[in-house]
Copies of this chain bind each other. A is one copy, B any other.
Amino acid sequence: MAKKVTAETKSRVPASDSYYSHHSPFGAYSTFTLGRFGKGGGFALESGQVPSQNVFVAYSRPNEPVRALPFYQGSVSGAENFTGQAASTENAFAKAGWVPFKAEEITRSLKWASDTWKAGDLRFTIFTPVQSLADFEYELTDKLKLALCPALIAELEFDNSQSKTPGWAFFGVGNIGKPMRVLGQDASLSLPGLARGNEWGFGYRATSEHIPELENVLSFELPELVRAGRSKVHLLASDGGVLIRAKAGQRVTVTLALGFYRGGIATTGLTTEYYYTRFFDNIEDVLAYALDHHTRYKDDAGVIDRRLERSGLSPTRQWLISQATRSYYGSTQLLRRGGHPLWVVNEGEYCMMNTFDLAVDHLFFELRHHPWTVRNMLDLYVERYSYMDEVMLPKDGGSKREKFLGGISFTHDMGTHNQFTRKGCSSYELTNLDGCFSHMTHEQLVNWVCCGALYGLRRPVERDTAPAGRDAGATYAGDKRWIREREPIFLACLESLIRRDSPPGAKRDGVMSLDSSRCGTGQEITTYDSLDVSLGQARSNLYLAVKTWAAYVLLGHVFRQLGRGHLEKDALIQASICAKTITSKYDRKLGFIPAVFEEGNHSAIIPAIEGLVFPYTIGDDEAVSENGPYGKMIHALKTHLKNVLKPGVCLDSASGGWKLSSTNNNTWASKIQLCQFVAETVLGFNFGPSIPKWDAIHAAWQCNEFADFAMSDQLDSTNGKPIGSRYYPRGVTNILWMNDF
């Protein structure tokens, strides 16, 4: 009965439907990850890795095989552990008559807030409505509860309407290592469903006109039971789900709530709990609430889906945004500290907390949907993760390095794996290093300025969950109170930037020349820590120079807003000399600006243009215009980009994709997409048919034969193979494509 769709007839955006996606509630640091064919996924809390549960979405009828989405691995029964007999390694599913759908039988449709698989007579959808919360402190409790409920709504539709016999569908998980329990037996709520302890679980409810019979299955013999359409509960088993019986001629739908819960103290260093524990006491609470509000979640998801569909973006870009948003959501964590919210974005597979050089990339998404999280993070950086340093000239062959007064900066992160570090220290940074794990003092200083200025000066208000008629594009509110409150910090940042420009008394060129004393015998690095010196070294670095220029421009706006004319002037003078320096580094022979203004460096880098995003998104079109005050630099950067976007330079010869540095095959998806936005929208490049071509390449990298990690950032530019920063939140830079700031 399965509608056959061949690979040829199907228009593939993206190239393959076999890829993992996070499916995550807002701020719960949890996920129901699913989507890679032949592999599991399932529930996970606070993890940087794809879970390895089996996920069962299947149906059968008398004398038919079980047809299932291919989201389970060969799994053996657990009963032999009790009976003292040897384990079988044969695939219990194949043996029991399970026939997974083949790729060509499946159509998957990933939208911004829904992920739908159709195969044969079933449809399975997971809804992940993007939450917009304009300002946490002013939201109504009901809205907060709806947004923070740590659960997802999913829907399984089984179409038995063309069948002359009864049939049954099944949703469940397995291979979870511990027994599940049956809900509704001991809790105050009589909720049908299964759970693992209090950590995660799923509840269900029939929501179609025809009401199917629903029965729990929890058994060592799940494959055989689903095959036979028989229910059974054995509380020692870890394979379980719900059997959905449809009569002949009926189409039935079951709505599922997939929930997560972690109570008690969530973090060390700072004692916090999950914010949602204010509203929910346990997993039963969570699931019951989500099911009670399932139509609201589905409706919201529909609104969000349509918003992206009507954006005018290509299907490929819509897909890239949808996929990236999910991995961002899977990393978000809203905690509660002394009654107040504390926002953390965890760093994908690394699980570092609020990594600042990622936060500046999440900025655009957060400003669009929940700008208060930016403020929340910036305030905690000031309170606890700022420091004052001294600065030093580069090493000159072993002699003691002279130190000068430095200034304020911020740590790389706030901790790792739910462990907040002590005041003034990150988990990442070490002293006496030249490369990876060294300090990012200048980079994070610039990042605080960029985030603070964008948050304070422009703040779009709630849109995506608003009634359709109310959506009126971007609204820039800003937060003037906060800008004023943080004036001392902005002042300290300007001072600190200037002190890193050149030693006291020496001529300034607007570009970082001194390393933080925290580096010891080493030197500062940038966020591009794993690339070669072209992007790795902070001092005299083109990428960081342009971003520093942007910070000066933004500081000009901040001080104007504050009515501090002399400080505005100081900032803009620095912006001018910085732009002048950058312009002067243009090498006519090379046809581009070398990546590092030192020692005959000849690397060509795309992120030269990255920093332009900040003046543009604050609305300063002049600053990024060839006819504006920094016109020469803009012109030089345009020429630079035009000349480096060539095969063998910053277009990979093998794949054709963008390559951030000409001298390294490690390229980063998030930054490519950010730079695409700058090139196309800020600098006005018209790449014509290259755009869909490049997008297709970059999208393919997220779902090719190596793509085992949902959104992956660090990729081998020759083939798209993830080589780091997997399962990663940073891809949401591509929200910029919406261009509605």
A→B interface (CB under 8 Å) = 79, 81-84, 178-179, 181, 185-186, 195, 197-198, 232, 234-236, 263-265, 268-270, 282, 349-352, 415-423, 425-428, 430, 436-437, 529-530, 666, 714, 723-724
Contact = CB atoms under 8 A, between A and B. Distances in A.
A186 B420 contact: yes
A638 to B, nearest CB: 31
Given A235-B415, A419-B197, A724 B81 contact: yes
Given A197-B418, A349-B81, A437-B82, A430 B264 contact: no
A81 B352 CA distance: 13
A432 B352 CA distance: 52
Contacts of A234: 430, 437
Contacts of A198: 265, 268
23 contacts: A79-B436, A79-B437, A82-B436, A83-B529, A83-B530, A179-B416, A179-B419, A181-B419, A181-B421, A185-B421, A186-B270, A186-B423, A195-B268, A198-B268, A234-B437, A235-B419, A235-B426, A235-B427, A236-B352, A236-B427, A236-B437, A264-B265, A265-B282
A339 B393 CA distance: 63
The A contact surface, by secondary structure, is loop
Closest 7 CB pairs of A and B: A264-B264, A235-B427, A185-B422, A84-B724, A84-B723, A181-B419, A263-B264
A78 to B, nearest CB: 10
Contact of A416 (B236, B418, B421): B236
B666 A197 contact: no
A79 B529 CA distance: 13
A432 to B, nearest CB: 10
B235 A83 contact: no
A269 B188 CA distance: 10
Nearest to A195: B268
A268 to B, nearest CB: 5
Contact of A82 (B82, B423, B530): B530
A186 to B, nearest CB: 5
Given A84-B714, A197-B419, 11 more contacts: A79-B436, A81-B349, A83-B530, A84-B666, A84-B724, A179-B417, A181-B268, A181-B269, A186-B270, A186-B420, A198-B268
A677 to B, nearest CB: 25
A427 B235 CA distance: 5
Contacts of A723: 84
Residue from A186, A352, A416 with most neighbouring chain B CB atoms (10 Å): A186
Contact of A84 (B351, B430, B530): B530
Nearest to A48: B178
Contacts of A178: 351, 417
A431 to B, nearest CB: 10
Contacts of A529: 82-83
A458 B226 CA distance: 52
Contacts of A437: 79, 82, 234, 236
Residue from A236, A282, A416 with most neighbouring chain B CB atoms (10 Å): A236
A351 B197 CA distance: 13
Nearest to A416: B179
A528 to B, nearest CB: 11
A529 B81 CA distance: 12
Contacts of A422: 185-186
A269 B283 CA distance: 12
Contacts of A265: 198, 263-264, 282
A235 B421 contact: yes
A263 B83 CA distance: 35
A730 to B, nearest CB: 15
Contacts of A420: 186
A48 B648 CA distance: 55
Contacts of A427: 179, 235-236
